[in-house]
Amino acid sequence: MLRAVNVGSKSIADYHSIVSRDLMAEIRALAQPLEGKRVLHINATSFGGGVAEILYTLVPLMTDVGLHADWKVMHGKTEFFHVTKTIHNALQGSDHVLTDEERATFERYNLMNVGGLTEAYDYVIVHDAQPAAMRAHAPFEGAKWIWRCHIDLSTPNQDVLEFLLPMIEGYDLSVFHMAQYIPSENSVPEPVIMPPAIDPLAPKNMALSGDDAAYIVDQFGPDVERPLMLQVSRFDPWKDPLGVIDAYRTVKRTVPDLQLVLVGSMATDDPEGWEYFERTVDYADGDGDIYILSNLNNVGAVEVNAFQSHADVVVQKSIREGFGLTVTEGLWKGRPSVAANVGGIPLQIVDGQTGYLVSNSEECADRVTEMLLDPDAARAMARRGKQHVRHNFLTPRLLRDWLGILSRLADD
**Most distant pair of Cα atoms in the chain: their distance:** 64
Over residues 214-225, mean pLDDT: 98
Query: 232 and 154, same structural domain?
Result: no
**Residue 317 and residue 365: Cα distance in Å, rounded?**
11
User: E strands within 209-312?
Assistant: 228-232, 259-264, 290-294
**Phi, psi torsion values for 316, nearest 5 degrees:** -145, 90
Q: Which pLDDT value is given to residue 48?
A: 67
What is the full DSSP assignment across 348-391? H--BTTTBEEESSHHHHHHHHHHHHH-HHHHHHHHHHHHHHHHH
Residue 269 predicted with pLDDT over 70: no
Evaluate whether 297 touches 263 at the Cβ level (below 8 Å): no
**Domain that includes residue 361, residue range:** 210-392
Element (H, E) at 148: strand 144-148
Q: Does residue 125 belong to any structural domain of this protein?
A: yes
Query: 131 and 159, same structural domain?
Result: yes
Evaluate whether 222 touches 291 at the Cβ level (below 8 Å): yes
Residue 272 predicted with pLDDT over 70: yes
Q: Which pLDDT value is given to residue 302?
A: 96
**Average predicted confidence (pLDDT) for the chain:** 94
Q: How confident is the model at residue 268 (pLDDT cuts 50, 70, 90)?
A: low
Q: Could you tell me which residues come within 8 angstroms of residue 351 by beta carbon, excluding any fewer than 6 positions away? A: 341, 357
Q: Does residue 168 belong to any structural domain of this protein?
A: yes
Q: Does residue 130 belong to any structural domain of this protein?
A: yes
Instruction: Provide the pairing of β-strand 3-4 with 68-73.
Output: antiparallel
Evaluate whether 31 touches 66 at the Cβ level (below 8 Å): yes
Q: Which pLDDT value is given to residue 64?
A: 98
Query: 381 and 400, same structural domain?
Result: no
Over residues 34-46, mean pLDDT: 96
Q: Does residue 202 belong to any structural domain of this protein?
A: no
Q: Does residue 164 belong to any structural domain of this protein?
A: yes
Based on the structure, what is the number of domains in the chain? 2
**CATH number, domain containing residue 235:** 3.40.50.2000
Four-residue CA torsion sign, 171, 175, 176, 182: positive
Q: What is the pLDDT of residues 229-247, one digit of tens each?
A: 999 998 988 899 999 999 9
**Phi, psi torsion values for 261, nearest 5 degrees:** -120, 125
Query: 349 and 402, same structural domain?
Result: no
Radius of gyration of the chain (CA): 21
Q: What is the pLDDT of residues 65-89, one digit of tens each?
A: 999 999 999 999 999 999 998 999 8
Q: Which pLDDT value is given to residue 267?
A: 66
Among the ranges given (180-184, 262-266, 270-274), the one the predictor scored with the smallest mean pLDDT: 270-274
Maximum average pLDDT range among 59-68, 169-178, 230-239: 59-68
Over residues 296-321, mean pLDDT: 95
Query: 150 and 254, same structural domain?
Result: no
Residue 383 predicted with pLDDT over 80: yes
Residue 4: CA count within 13 A, CB half-sphere:
9
Q: Does residue 140 belong to any structural domain of this protein?
A: yes
198: β partners: 394
Q: Which pLDDT value is given to residue 412?
A: 67
Distance between alpha carbon 16 and the CA centroid of its chain, in Å?
Answer: 24
Query: 42 and 30, same structural domain?
Result: yes
Query: 20 and 135, same structural domain?
Result: yes
Query: 111 and 221, same structural domain?
Result: no
Helix 21-31 to helix 395-411 angle (10° resolution) is 30
Q: Which pLDDT value is given to residue 97?
A: 87
Q: Which pLDDT value is given to residue 321?
A: 87
Q: How confident is the model at residue 320 (pLDDT cuts 50, 70, 90)?
A: confident
Element (H, E) at 38: strand 38-43
Nearest by Cα to 299 from 240, 211, 233, 244:
233
Q: Does residue 204 belong to any structural domain of this protein?
A: no
Q: Which pLDDT value is given to residue 188?
A: 87
Residue 16 predicted with pLDDT over 70: yes
Query: 143 and 221, same structural domain?
Result: no
Query: 113 and 45, same structural domain?
Result: yes
Q: How confident is the model at residue 135 (pLDDT cuts 50, 70, 90)?
A: very high
Maximum average pLDDT range among 94-98, 101-105, 111-115: 101-105
Query: 172 and 275, same structural domain?
Result: no
Q: Does residue 205 belong to any structural domain of this protein?
A: no
Does residue 5 sit in helix, strand or coil? coil
Query: 190 and 50, same structural domain?
Result: yes
